[in-house]
Amino acid sequence: MRIVVVGGGVMGLATAWQLTRRGERPIVVERFARGHHEGASHGETRNYNNAYGDAHYLDLLAVAREGWDALGEVDGEPLLRRHGLVSHGPGPALGAANRAPLAELADALTARGIPADLLDGAEAARRWPGMRFESTVLYSPDAGVARAAAALRELERRTVAAGGEVRWNTRVAAIAPDADGVDVVTGAGVLRADVVVATVGAWTEKLLGASGDAGPAATGGGVTRGGGLGIQLPRLRVTEETPAHFTPRIDVPWPSFNHFVAPGSQPANVYGMPTPGEGVKVGFHGIGDEVDPDARPHRSVRQRELRAYVREWFPGLDPDSAVPISCTYTTTPDEAFVLDRVGRVVVGAGFSGQGFKFAPGVGATLAELALDPTARADPAFRLR
- Which helix (H) or strand (E) is 176 found in, with range? strand 172-177
Decide: 202 and 219 in contact? Cβ < 8 Å.
Answer: no
Which backbone phi and psi does 367 adopt, to 5 degrees? Answer: -65, -45
Query: Which residue ranges in the chain fall short of pLDDT 50?
Result: 95-99, 212-227
DSSP bridge pairs for 257: 86, 272
The closest alpha carbon to 297, from 244, 243, 224, 240, belongs to: 240
* pTM of this structure: 0.94
**For 139-174, what is the HEC assignment?**
EECCCEEEEHHHHHHHHHHHHHHCCCEEECCCCEEE
Q: What CA–CA distance (Å, rounded) separates 285 from 274?
A: 17
User: How confident is the model over 126-159, as pLDDT tens digits?
Assistant: 999 999 999 999 999 999 999 999 999 999 999 9
Decide: 331 and 285 in contact? Cβ < 8 Å.
Answer: no
pLDDT at residue 211, rounded to an integer: 54
The 3-state DSSP class for residue 317 equals strand
Domains and CATH numbers, the chain: 3-43+149-235+333-381 (3.50.50.60), 83-144+238-331 (3.30.9.10)
* AA letter at 24: E
pLDDT at residue 229, rounded to an integer: 86
User: How confident is the model over 14-60, as pLDDT tens digits?
Assistant: 999 999 999 999 999 999 999 999 999 999 999 999 999 999 999 99
Q: What CA–CA distance (Å, rounded) separates 220 from 168?
A: 11
- The sign of the CA dihedral 366, 369, 372, 377 is positive
DSSP 236-278: -EEEEE--EEE-BSS-----EEEE-PPTTTSSS-EEEEEETTT
Which residues fall within 8 angstroms of residue 264, CB to CB, at 6 or more apart? none
Decide: 83 and 381 in contact? Cβ < 8 Å.
Answer: no
Q: What CA–CA distance (Å, rounded) separates 352 from 357?
A: 12
Q: What CA–CA distance (Å, rounded) separates 20 from 12?
A: 13
* AA letter at 41: S
Q: What CA–CA distance (Å, rounded) separates 243 from 301?
A: 9
Decide: 158 and 22 in contact? Cβ < 8 Å.
Answer: no
